[in-house]
Structure 1
Amino acid sequence: MEIGDGLASSLVRAGVRYQLRTDVPDGWLRCSDLLKEPALFDEWRSLLTSWLTRQHGSAPAQTAASYVMSWYLYVPAYVGALLLHHERRVPSLKPEQLAFGLGPDRPHPEGMAVLSDAFYCLPTDPGSARREATVVRDERALAAVLRAQFIGHAARFVRAYAPGTRLGRRMLWAAATDALDSALWRAGRQGGTAEAEGAGVADAALVLDARYRPLTSASTLRTASTAEGHRSWERRRESCCFSYLLPGEAECDGCPRTCRR
């Protein structure tokens, strides 16, 4: 019997445009190393502070802490969202199984690595008979796996990151909610068509159909109309990036400081 391909092939298909890989190049960071050694977050914030200062003339500590918070959480969220959207598979999102590389100038995650062959999939998946596959009954169950895997990773991040910043735990979990919701949306938007974006919105509604504590909300994606009558998708943020503290900057669209709940 011919058995379908494994997760490495899924990463190639989903990562042609999104820089997914299966190895850890020199200089990349394994998520588990950051969580075990929170001083590495200090180094990351220092790199970001220098970049923000070059770009804006100053770098408030709260802004740098918020950027690093959001960028880190986006790694497990984005990996999970891409594989769900493109392959209907969910890889391991444990910190030991994920790594990322920072950009050479702007210190944000520019590439991501999945270091385990294990994945969850649907009964119809061609690779469902592989020994590293765990089959779940339907898409709702697959969404629950993604949600649980992400929450488990985020919980470890919150414990490691909170003591070194002035960001409260509610803010950290709000950022986790934003990361997952926006990653699912982005996975669809990057398809370049309204249909692909709609599929990403549907994935967000599937994974975040309700509030799952300690996440702070269900998906906040909703339609909006312009003055010309065009309709588009938008989302209300749960967390603040504190970009408005930078010189000359204002609150972002969808900022919780300015938007009604």
Structure 2
Amino acid sequence: VREMFAAQLIEEGLLSAEDSSARADAAEARLSDAHKNVKASAAHAPQVSRPPMDASPEPDIKTAVPAEALESLNRQLMAVPDRFAVHPKLLRQMERRKTPLAEREIDWAQAEELAFATLITGGIPVRLTGQDTERGTFSQRHLVFHDVRTGKTWAPIQHLVGASASFELHNSPLSEYAALGFEYGYSSDASEALVCWEAQFGDFANGAQIIVDQFIVSGLAKWGQSSRLTLLLPHGYEGGGPEHSSARLERFLQLAA
């Protein structure tokens, strides 16, 4: 191919035969030198050492939160600005969640939201991404409210009184390999944060399996690199099709063995 291009350029008077040969020789010399350097450095490559692991028993960390703190957070999480028009159907759900926690049971989505709120008010940054994380695939989460008249958005969890850490929330593109790869890199650099990637009903976890295999479960052994990335994975068999149940728990347990 190079010879064909060179002949065409020579015919058009854009390149001489001598210049073509000289450029080819120079390129080959650069590749040869690079190959020699790689071989020489490989012989002296340092062994990757794992960071020391604390073998002592886990401390007894108290995670309880005072009831009055949870009630205060719950009220803030259901608050919107004046003249902000929430969808009427969502208003009914918000009214149920405003009921004092001691008087009722709470569902998973509300417990999750309260947990996130206690983390950021405790100084721990949180980042949550996935195809439909703002709303929740089954309309259960609603971390972001939309004004039905103006289209403006409001995320109460990003306006909590006393919050000393950030809460990042993003709907990611439906490209699981790229999305999980980015979150792995982010979590490796932001070791103080809780970084979560949620494979929702439309995210096929098997599309990101390369990141799981090559980085998440083997990064410590290969590079001494640990990550606090947390995966929220669909693993039920609810009849939605094999791709919607692609997070097979047995695979992850085997990889972590």
TM-score relative to the length of structure 1 = 0.27
TM-score relative to the length of structure 2 = 0.27
* Larger strand fraction of residues: 1
